[in-house]
Each structure stands twice: as C-alpha cells, then as structure tokens.
Structure 1
Amino acid sequence: MVISMTGFGRSRVESVAFSVNVEVKTVNHRFCEVNIRMPRQLLKLEDKIKKKINQQLRRGRVEVFITIEGEGRITRKVRVDWKLIEEYHLFIEQARKKYNIEGKVTLQDLLNRSEFIHIEESDDGNEELESLILTATEKAVLLLKQMRMAEGEELKKDLLTSILQVEININELQKYAPQVVSSYKERLQKRMQEFVNGQIDESKILTEVAIFADKVDINEEITRLKSHIQQFLKTIEEQEPVGRKLDFLIQEMNRETNTIGSKANDSNIAKKVVDIKSLLEKLKEQVQNIE
C-alpha cells in the first residue's frame, strides 16, 4: 500500500478536570523516529505514547506536541536539603571565626542556592489524565494516518504514470537494439571495401560483427528491466509499507539503464537512456516520501 510519510493530525479530548490537546506531524525518515514534547511530570507516559504511535506508523520522523489545561494536574512540593544547609552554615561560621570575617548568613542567602531548595512537580499518578492523553494521541495519529493514506493515493497515480512511461521507453529501446548491429555491419563492410578495393573476406566481417554484437547486446538488461517493472507494479499493490522495496527496485532499474547506456553505441538508444533515467529520477524522488 502506498502511504505518504508526510501528514498532520490534531485532537482535543476533555473531561471535567482536564483538557488535553495533541498535535502529531510526520516527515520523511528512513526509520520511525518519535520525538515527544510534553510537561515534564508526564515523561513516564512516553513509552506508552510511542507504543500507540508505532501501532499505526512504520516509518517517518514523528513530532508529538502535548499540552494540558485544567486545575489539579500538577502537585508542587518544596524539597529542602536540611543536611546540606547545616553543613553550609557550619562552614560559614567556622570560616568567619577563623579568618575574622564579619557578616551573617541570611535567609535570602539560602533561598538563592538552588541546591538547597527546589520545587518538585508531579501528577500524583492521575489515571484520568493518562487515559485522556493516550486517547487524544490515538485520535490524532489516526487522523494523521488518514491524511497520509489520501496523499499516498495521489502518489500512487503519479508512480503508475511514470513507471508505464519507463516501460514504453524500454519497448522502444528494444526495437533499436538489432539496428545497432546491422548498422555496424554496413559501416564495417564499407570501410573494408575502401581498403581492399572491393575484395572482402566475408568470414572476417562476420567474426568482427559477432564480437561487436556480443559487446553491445542489451537484451539481458532489457529483460531485467522489464522484470523489475513487473515487480514494481506488483509491489505497489501490496497491503503493507512498500517504500523501501520500491526504492530498491528503482536503484536496480537505474543500474541496468546505466549499463545499457555504456554498452550501446547508438544515438537513438542514448536518447532513450536519457529519457528513462529522467523518469527514474522522478520516481526516486516520489518514493522517498513513501512509508
């Protein structure tokens, strides 16, 4: 199935106490990479959120943004390191006496030291909030997937159009292949007549033509190209992510086309090779955006 890796989904789920907003967007990526931005106290839910996403998406860079509104979602507590404060105060007193330093340790001095006092935030294991977040995430991902599938259908149409154009060019290229050898035979005969005054050793010509024909034979490459096209058409209908497989097939088609270009000593074939490579380049760019 052709599914685009570009998409966006947004969901909002509410309860009496909370309102959860989730936005999910995806872009091209070789693997499935999920990055989540949400309040720190909810980081323990990260694995559960990723599991929800991975159930629906196989490839792409996934950006998730979660915001929460509502009272009571955060419990704040003041944490004081009394032992460290006592050691700090003792050090100050000892230093003041030892070096005859005037001055006192004030409350403001202690408040300015973040290692003594800090505020901890937690959601107190609110099950309602967790359920809302996972539900909103699932809805947003499903909406994103619908968008990716709709774009994938448009990509599929373009892919089919381009690959059929490649097939047409290959069929035309195949017609030119025999002409390369016959054209070479004619040129060889003409050159030999010029050198030997019309007395030609036919066996030498046939040997030379046979050697040339073997060097410029592109039938094997054409056969493989046609096979790759059939695999491409079959793969594009599979009910699973096909991006990597299609990318591999395009690479193989490009390799066979390059071989044909290096073998064939003919302007018509060279032109068709350029046309095919242009179409394959377009296909490659489109396939990069398929899951």
Structure 2
Amino acid sequence: MPLSSMTGFARQQGGNEAQSWTWELRSVNGRGLDLRLRLPPGTEGVEAPARALLSKQLRRGSVTCNLQVATVAQGVSYRINRPLLAELAALASEVAADVEAAPPRLDGLLALRGVLEPVEPEPSQDREAVERALLADLQQAADSLVAARRAEGDRLTVVLGELIDRIEELVTAAAAAAVQRQARQRDRLREQVSQLLDAGTPVPEERLAQELAMLAVKADIAEEIDRLKAHVAQARGHLAADAPVGRELDFLAQEFNREANTLCSKANDLDLTRIGLDLKLAIDRLREQVQNVE
C-alpha cells in the first residue's frame, strides 16, 4: 500500500430526470477519523450507509462530506382552486349589489393569489432507488478522494525519504565528531594536568582516574547514536510498510527528537553542538511532514 496523505478533495455529480446532486468530500489532518456529514432534508436515509462507506476506505483524517440536491427544471402545470374561485366570485357579486362597479373579469379573478396553483411533478423514482444512486456516486467520490490522498502521499514519501537520509547523514557526522571530540578532550585534560603539575599542585592518580571516568560517562553519546541509527532503519521500514503508518511515524519522530536533545546536552563541543542543532532542525521538519500521513 503506498503512503497516503490525510489531505484531499473530491467532487462527484449525478442525478436523474427529477433531481441533480453533487457530493463534495474534503479531508484534512486529524488524530483519528472524524466524519462530518451535511445532508439536505429528505436524504437522511443515506447517512448511516454513507458513514459506513467512508469508514471502510479511510483510516484517519477530518473529513467533511457535503451533499447538495436540486430539482431539475420541468414544464410547470397549474390547476384552479375552484372552491376559492367560487368564494371570490360570490363576494364580488355581493359587493356589486352595494356599489356601482363593473362585474369582475375572469382574468382578474385568476390573477388573485391562490386561485391558480402550480402542480408539483410526481417523483419518477422511489426513495430507495434514489438512495442507491446517491450512494453509488458517493462511492465514486470516495474513490477519487483516496486517489487524491495517495497522490499527495507519493509526494510525502519523497520528502520523508530525503529527510530520513539527511538525519542519517547527520547521525554519521555526529559519530565521527564524537571521536574527534574525545581526542581533543584528552589533549585538553593533559594540558590542564600539566599546568597543575608545573604549579606544584599534587594530583593523586586515583583522583585523576575518577575525573577521566566521569568525563567519559558524561560525554559518551554511543547509545544515542545507536538508537538514532535504529530509528532511521525503523523509519525506512515504515515508509515501505503495507499499512497506514502515520501514528507510528509520529511516535518515531518524537523518539528522534528525544535522542537529539540528549545528544546536544552531552555535546560539550562546538562541532558536535552544530551537528546536533542541524539534526534537531531536520527532525522538526520530519515531524511537521508526518502530521499529514494517514
């Protein structure tokens, strides 16, 4: 399964002789799968199957599903409200007996509100057939959304791969810098001990050995380097996995950051500190990108 993003958009149009509709799906980052359906009145029957359909194809993301339905324009027919027309004609006759006025004309009566009523066309399909058609179009929209998220996932795969390569490069540089730092620390300590001896200050051998051991323990970053290398291998395994790995990559990015912080705190060396800061920058960029992985 290729890597998928949680960002995407899809639209699908459909309809029959009486109605037209449009599905729109928008997906952004989310900790889990959050489905928000906006359906017009009269389509409540598709909500449950629509949720099931989307839940089957999507694992993570905040997804807004919007359905718009419009009535197809058709020839409008009218009918006369005969009871109302008769009542109005009778009232007109009563008034005509009291005042001098011309009798009402038919066109005038028909123009009165409510005398002519539009006749709504009968639906040509039953509700179940319309719901099946709606869900079929939603399926196509969901397929398009999955394709859009995977296309974005392909781009993310390249970006994440480059960042992991950069992290591995910096880890290798940190290991080499640690070896050079050890030599510099040894030379610096010898110089300090020599200055003490020249000043006539006695330095017990046991005390000197203890200081050397403490410096070595405090400055040792071998475990951090080993864990960072293991995280790099694990990250590459996630990118090649046949399953959604967004949560795993997010957790791994946190572990990367933890080891980089420890490395920087133990650096005590300009070159190693610079590498550690570059490493933290690359890890921060990795964390930003994995937030969008399904």
TM-score, with normalisation over the residues of structure 1?
Answer: 0.78
Shift of residue 276 of structure 1?
0.6
Q: What whole-Å deviation, never above 9, does each CA across 1:10-45 have from its counterpart, x for those lacking one?
A: 111222333221111101111111111111222232
Q: What is residue 15 of structure 1 aligned with on the other side?
A: 16
Q: What is residue 75 of structure 1 aligned with on the other side?
A: none
8 Å contact from structure 1 (residues 35, 63) kept in 2: yes
In structure 1, distance between residues paired with 2:251 and 2:23: 35
Structure 1 portions without partners, runs of 5+: 72-123
**Counterpart secondary structure, 2:36:** strand
In structure 2, distance between residues paired with 1:13 and 1:237: 38
**Counterpart secondary structure, 2:155:** helix
Q: What whole-Å deviation, never above 9, does each CA across 1:256-289 have from its counterpart, x for those lacking one?
A: 0101111121111100111111011111111111
The count of residues paired between Structure 1 and Structure 2 equals 242
**Counterpart secondary structure, 1:181:** helix
Say which of 216, 221, 227 aligns to 1:218: 221
* Stretch moving more, 145-154 or 184-193: 184-193
8 Å contact from structure 1 (residues 169, 276) kept in 2: yes
Q: What whole-Å deviation, never above 9, does each CA across 1:36-58 have from its counterpart, x for those lacking one?
A: 11112222321111111111111
Shift of residue 182 of structure 1?
2.4
8 Å contact from structure 1 (residues 250, 284) kept in 2: yes
Q: What is residue 107 of structure 1 aligned with on the other side?
A: none
Q: CA RMSD in A?
A: 2.2
Q: What is residue 270 of structure 2 aligned with on the other side?
A: 267
Give % identity. Answer: 34
Q: What is residue 33 of structure 2 aligned with on the other side?
A: 32
Which letter maps to 2:8?
Answer: G
Which letter maps to 1:242?
Answer: V
Shift of residue 185 of structure 1?
2.0
8 Å contact from structure 2 (residues 33, 58) kept in 1: yes
In structure 2, distance between residues paired with 1:229 and 1:184: 29
Counterparts of 1:86-105 in structure 2, within 5 Å, are none
8 Å contact from structure 1 (residues 176, 269) kept in 2: yes
8 Å contact from structure 2 (residues 45, 131) kept in 1: no
In structure 2, distance between residues paired with 1:4 and 1:204: 58
Shift of residue 201 of structure 1?
5.8
Which letter maps to 2:5?
Answer: S
Structure 2 portions without partners, runs of 5+: 73-124
Shift of residue 178 of structure 1?
2.2
Q: What is residue 196 of structure 1 aligned with on the other side?
A: 197
Which letter maps to 1:288?
Answer: Q
Q: What whole-Å deviation, never above 9, does each CA across 1:81-103 have from its counterpart, x for those lacking one?
A: xxxxxxxxxxxxxxxxxxxxxxx
Q: What is residue 131 of structure 1 aligned with on the other side?
A: 132
**Counterpart secondary structure, 1:23:** strand
Say which of 245, 252, 257 aligns to 2:255: 252
Which letter maps to 1:222?
Answer: I
Counterparts of 1:1-291 in structure 2, within 5 Å, are 1-70=2-71, 126-197=127-198, 204-291=207-294
Which letter maps to 1:220?
Answer: E
TM-score, with normalisation over the residues of structure 2?
Answer: 0.77
**Counterpart secondary structure, 1:40:** coil
In structure 2, distance between residues paired with 1:209 and 1:260: 20
In structure 1, distance between residues paired with 2:254 and 2:279: 13
**Counterpart secondary structure, 2:43:** helix
Where does structure 1 differ by over 3 angstroms across 4 or more consecutive aligned residues?
A: 198-207
